[in-house]
Amino acid sequence: MYIFIVKRLLITIPIFIVISLILFTLINLAPGGPEAVFMGENISREAAANIRANLNLDKPLPVQYYNWAKAIIRGDLGHSLQTGESIWSLISTNLVNTLILTFSAFILALITAIPLGVLSALKENSIFDRIVSFLSFIGISFPPFWLGILVIMLFSYQLRLFPASGMSVYGLENNILNRLHHLILPAFTLAVVNTATFIRFTRSAVLETLNENYIKTARAKGLNENIIIYKHALRNALISIITIVGFTIPSLISGSVVIETIFAWPGLGRMAVNAVFQRDYPLIMGINMIVAVITVFSNLGIDIIYTIIDPNITFD
């Protein structure tokens, strides 16, 4: 197992190099640079050249990439072109904010979706199944920005139960109740889409396993139905559920731009989009590299989990 993990880790190095090269090229191909953002409509050719020189953007691209990569190896992500702040500190605070939101939503989605999905599969075509299917279709079809606004209109404006935006009230940052109060609406909105998707996948995964021959065999030999479902069917269905859940993990880190924007949540998604519009090259690189690292490692983690759940899967 350790050899497998080391091998996988070694493979990631060329992957990161290729990712960073592609990113770096793409970013620099986009028309307009940070100097345009600085100057706005007051843009002038001379000032633009001056600012590019001040930001070290006048060097040839390979030199810029080399300098960036050299710093990265030392663990230095550089400084934001727009604000001059350390990118590591910008990313780390915003990443924590994003994780608070996305993990709450993720857990909320899992604990609602898996039981509902399993139950609808077991009671296939019953009224319960139809209602769950109907609701999950609605959940998938709701554009999150619209759902967000609806939720704010209802729970913040009409019922005045929850604050419409922000992470906490100033001065109450350490008050867990205040934080929870602010977390509920965005986490719920973000969870809706994932819940719907997870329900659909859980349901079909369980249905598929229930039709497998080994389940029929188990039933034929008169095994207790509970044991069939919980020990044989569910455990096998989990593999495909984990695959789909694994796919959503990178999105937990990169965050949801739409939800973060509507609920004024100071997360990484919003920061990434702003960085793109502001052509803040090192910040874009930094955020994307962090997301790439986490994606690669979460995939590795998922592979390890497979072997624990299913002894048939080995490290070869």
Partner 1 sequence: MKKLKKIILLTFIFTISCLSLFNTQAAAEKYGGQIVLASIADASTLNPAIESDSSSNNINNLVFDSLIRLDEQLQPQASLAENWTISDDNKTITFKLKKNVKFHDGVEFTAEDVEFTIFSIVDYKSNSMIKPYYDSLLGAEEYFNKISQLNKLREENVISGEEFTEDAEKAFKDFKNAGGIKIIDPYQIEFNLAEPFAPFITVALDLGILPRHILEGKDINRNQFNTNPIGTGPFKFIEWKRNEHIVLEAFEDYHQGRPYLDRVIYRIIPDQAVQITELRTGGIDYMTQPPPEMIAILENDPDLNILQTDTVSYNYFGFKLSDSIFEDIKFRQALSYAIDMESIVENILMGYGQVATGPFPTSMWAYNPDVKRYPYNPELASKILAEMGWQKNQAGFLEKNGEILSFKLETRQGDYLKEQMAVIVQEQLADIGIKVEVVFAEWTSFLVRLLNANYETVILNWRGSADPDGYAYTVWHSSQFDVRNNKRYKNERVDELLVKARREMNLEKRKIYYDEFQEILAEEQPFIFAYYVDQVFVVNDDYKGWVPTPQREGILLSLKNVYLEN
Interface residues toward partner 1, by CB under 8 A: 30-33, 36-51, 53-55, 58, 79, 82-85, 90, 93-94, 149, 152-153, 156-157, 160, 163-167, 170, 261-264, 266-267, 270-271, 274, 277-279
Q: What phi-psi label fits residue 84: left (phi over 0), alpha (psi between -120 and 50 degrees) or beta?
A: left
Nearer to partner 1, 16 or 142 (CB): 142
Minimum CB separation of residue 15 from partner 1 in Å reads 30
- Say which amino acid occupies 203: R
Separation of alpha carbons 8 and 146, rounded Å: 41
Measure the N-to-C terminal CA separation of the chain; round to a whole number of Å. Answer: 9
Minimum CB separation of residue 131 from partner 1 in Å reads 31
Separation of alpha carbons 84 and 89, rounded Å: 11
Minimum CB separation of residue 36 from partner 1 in Å reads 4
Separation of alpha carbons 11 and 291, rounded Å: 17
Output the six-digit token pair for 54. Answer: 């001040």
Pair 290, 94: CB distance under 8 Å: no
Pair 80, 273: CB distance under 8 Å: no
Minimum CB separation of residue 310 from partner 1 in Å reads 42
| Nearest to 37, CA basis, from 57, 61, 59, 62 | 57
Minimum CB separation of residue 42 from partner 1 in Å reads 6
Minimum CB separation of residue 19 from partner 1 in Å reads 24
Nearer to partner 1, 18 or 53 (CB): 53
The count of C-alpha atoms lying within 13 angstroms of the C-alpha of 72, restricted to the half-sphere facing its C-beta, is 18
Q: Whats the size of the chain, residue-wise?
A: 316
Separation of alpha carbons 44 and 163, rounded Å: 44
Minimum CB separation of residue 73 from partner 1 in Å reads 22
Core vs surface per residue 152-182: b (16+ CB within 10 A) or e: beebbeeeeebbbeebbeeeeeeeeebeebb
Nearer to partner 1, 67 or 224 (CB): 67
Nearer to partner 1, 2 or 277 (CB): 277
Pair 268, 101: CB distance under 8 Å: no
Nearer to partner 1, 162 or 198 (CB): 162
Minimum CB separation of residue 240 from partner 1 in Å reads 37
Q: What's the Cα-to-Cα distance from 81 to each of 37, 86, 186, 282, rounded to whole Å? A: 10, 10, 30, 7
Cβ count near 315 (within 10 Å): 14
